């Protein structure tokens, strides 16, 4: 299940990794993602916890510090690569859409 889990990143997975390009505390990720997307992408606390755990196991993120109970995380090079892959996939998708649309208007 772990391998195929991250074949395609869901929106929530994508934004968690995106937020963690800068060192961020777990609690703040929820607000950050909502702010970044204007409330479109909402990450629930339970989902956040599970995904952070999975990302840690997969090596996409690492724990950078613990202040009492506040844990901070940061993305790893492996995570960066995965994020980049997903970005390119999205670009390709958008490109296909635009190409199709352009083809239709001509």
Which residues would be at the binding site for another protein (CB under 8 A)? 1, 10, 12, 26-27, 30-31, 42-51, 69-71
Give the contacts of 15 (CB within 8 A, at least 6 positions apart): 33, 36, 37, 41, 43
In whole angstroms, the minimum distance from the beta carbon of 103 to another protein comes to 28
Nearer to another protein, 53 or 84 (CB): 53
Shortest distance, position 67 Cβ to another protein, whole Å: 12
Q: Are 12 and 51 in contact (CB under 8 A)?
A: yes
Backbone angles phi, psi at 77, to 5 degrees: -55, -40
Residue 99 Cβ, how far from another protein at the closest point, in Å? 25
């Amino acid at each position: 299940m772990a391998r195929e889990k991250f074949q395609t990143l869901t929106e929530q997975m994508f934004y968690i990794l995106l937020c963690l390009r800068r060192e961020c505390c777990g609690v703040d990720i929820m607000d950050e993602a909502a702010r970044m997307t204007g409330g479109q992408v909402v990450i629930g606390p339970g989902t956040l916890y599970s995904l952070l755990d999975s990302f840690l196991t997969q090596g996409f993120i690492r724990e950078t510090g613990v202040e009492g109970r506040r844990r901070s995380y940061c993305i790893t090079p492996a995570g960066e690569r995965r994020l980049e892959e997903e970005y390119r996939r999205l670009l390709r998708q958008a490109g296909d859409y635009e190409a199709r649309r352009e083809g239709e208007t001509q």
